[in-house]
Structure 1
């Protein structure tokens, strides 16, 4: 029996999320960019040729589950350690055992959960043995390893970034738990509505552990009715502590709410602005989509009445990419409220629209001779640039013709 195999009697007392952990790659859901057919990590696991690596991703994305798959597959000695309780003495003791096995060609894999919690001294302790191949180090972390791990340790490891699971992938995991009679809830008579199951999957935000825990709470806190455990949407909301709202990211709710958000910023109503923003965030809208809408409003509806609005909106979009949710909601709120409170002018929007309309429907105006490029050899012979007045020679402004035909596009 390896580290992760449990007697059936012991397994019953484990949380559902632990019991449903995949035993092999066939049971593993998600992260196809890493373990799809032909992918590097898939090939390494299948051939039992794992090298030191760091699994980096949000909670519930499958880092620990992937470690269990590797543990079940490998012929190496697999040891599980948690950085939050790991002392430097324990690290040295485990590395000493690994060195003793190495001459006998016995591989040792040390899995360090929450590896970002290790201090620099503890991280450096692994370096010699990782370098010499005495030990294979697998670290799991929710934090960016390039920020939290030493460059020496990062350089000796492959970094694999796991993504939040898609809603459909979480739904697949939930359905498997409901049907699995050996490890899951398949022996219970459960009647759960599609709406309730989808709500749990969607509200978990890509976290399979959170979804399975919510399902388990829903099942074991619901009284049987005529021998059936009936779970509806209300029960699902209580179990995952998240209200169900109607918000389809590709349907009417998406477009209607985004429209209300934009029009509230344009109308200088900060309270409505932040309400519609909150609805989009709660509904799982892509924060990058929201940031782009704020940038557009900053230019289209504020424009030169307050040029800083565009600077703030663009900075917010960059910060959202760097920080991510849930903290990015604060950045989005700051930018949206700045735009909502800023003075408004759509002069730039009206100007470019009018000019584009003329370009499309009228005869294109030629460039006046005195404005044409005169920097190339022979330009003067063609009369290019002749008569052009350099504004700085006249104190910054000089009256001269810039269009061959009088046009008025920009009005304050």
Structure 2
């Protein structure tokens, strides 16, 4: 049984690696480290199919080290100890280079066992993870390693890998293979920055292509049927979920309807309607806020409609709400106010509630002096009078500051007039 095409044609030099030019380009830091021959412990962080395993293999070949591969989903502490037993033997004359895939699946005890051996230099570690290592990798290992982030490969770079895969299969099979430019572009664009996925799609296309007149043709129709339906990476438990939500919320706050609609589309394509609705409602209250208070009710109505009709129609009322929030004036004055008030409460800055503001709905309240001097604002001109409401300890504290938008400035002008304040 043949290995997958991506493994059969795996690059053997850094120059053959597709993408990651920010790390492996001429003069870039990871390339310089590899070429120096003095290898520190490394952690490769990034999505699958972007070259982490390939680069580890190239490093082993470049530094003349024995490469041992383990996957943390199946490896155990005993496997690590058995590996250490090979140190200083003929099997590993230059020391052991361990490539540990998915290190986030090692528990703390397993990572501590590994730490013992990388500290004394018996093992040089290259660990890879698709999760943020600063959340999942033991701090002591992090402090002894250098983290490099691998990024999804661009469609333009993946096209190079797709054409190389076609040439490789031609040489391997001895048959002529012709790939339409449109098919190559589609495969490269539909793999979500995953080179392995693109190469495997090429192999499927070749296997399904008819060999007319000794030539196999890869057409756009084939590529559309056999490549992945969606180019998007999304998992509700990994970084991409939170990255999309963060970009979505910041685009709403930044008043960019095109970007906000793009990230909304990514959330809806993944079927994550609840997250799309929740972040939209938060932005309406936090970022649009009192600059357009009725907009909050409109957004809530759109979200209710979206939840009622469900996907795919939910995209319509949500798009309305997203564009509304993006194009509405912004104010976070109330948001800042409640944050300041909560900070005081958490810090113990509270004080006694004035007696005349306390509840009076029980027998004996008057004997305790409750509510005796309270004045009812509606009995006074303009339904207002000057009266202390904050505790004595907080007199003069200002939590809310009027925003500079039309709505809040109109409210400020009204209250300045009522309260007799001079501008």
CA RMSD of aligned residues (A): 4.3
**Residue 40 (structure 1) aligned to one of 19, 29, 43:** 29
TM-superposed CA distance for 1:344, in Å, is: 8.9
Equivalent residue number for residue 353 of structure 2: none
1:337 aligned onto 2:337:
no
Structure 1 contact 31–165 (Cα < 8 Å) conserved: yes
Q: Does the aligned pair in 1 maintain the 2:52–2:150 contact within 8 Å?
A: yes
- Are residues 1:19 and 2:8 paired? yes
Separation (CA, whole Å) in 2 of partners of 1:166 and 1:275: 18
Task: Give the alignment partner of residue 211 of structure 1, picking from 198, 212, 229.
Answer: 198
Measured in 2, the distance between the counterparts of 1:64 and 1:108 equals 16
Name which of 162, 179, 196 aligns with 2:167.
179
Shift of 1:308: 8.4
Q: Once the two structures are superposed, what CA deviation does each residue of 1:213-267 show, in whole Å capped at 9, x if it has no partner?
A: 11100110122122221221110011114289xxxxxxxxxxxxxxxxx9xxxxx
Q: Partners in 2 of 1:37 and 1:308 — Cα distance?
A: 55
Q: Does 1:115 align with 2:103?
A: yes
1:100-143 C-alpha deviation (Å, 9 max, x unpaired): 459x9732111111211111111110112211212101111111
CA shift for structure 1 position 202 = 0.2
**Partners in 2 of 1:36 and 1:117 — Cα distance?**
31
Secondary structure of the residue aligned to 2:15 is coil
For residues 60 and 398 of structure 1, do their structure 2 counterparts lie closer, same or farther at Cα, with a shift above 3 Å needed? Answer: same
In 2, the alpha carbon distance for the partners of 1:342 and 1:47 equals 53
Which structure 2 residues correspond to residues 121-160 of structure 1 after superposition, within 5 A? Answer: 121-160=109-148
Question: Which among 233, 236, 256 is matched to residue 220 of structure 2?
Answer: 233
Offset, 1:85: 1.7
Aligned length: 290
Distance of 1:36 and 1:345 partners within structure 2: 39
Aligned position for 1:89: 78
Q: Evaluate the alpha carbon distance shift between residue 335 and residue 83 of structure 1 in structure 2; reply closer, same or farther with a 3 A threshold.
A: farther
Give the secondary structure class of the aligned counterpart of 2:292: helix
Q: CA deviation at 1:199?
A: 0.4
Q: State the alpha-carbon separation in 1 of the partners of residues 23 and 156 from structure 2.
A: 18
TM-score by length of 1: 0.60
Q: Where in structure 2 are the equivalents of 1:50-69 lying within 5 Å? A: 50-69=39-58
Deviations 1:157-208 (A, max 9, x none): 11010000011111011111222368767x3312221111100000001000
Q: Any runs of at least 4 consecutive aligned residues in structure 1 with deviations exceeding 3 A, and if so which?
A: 180-185, 273-282, 306-311, 333-336, 341-349, 394-402
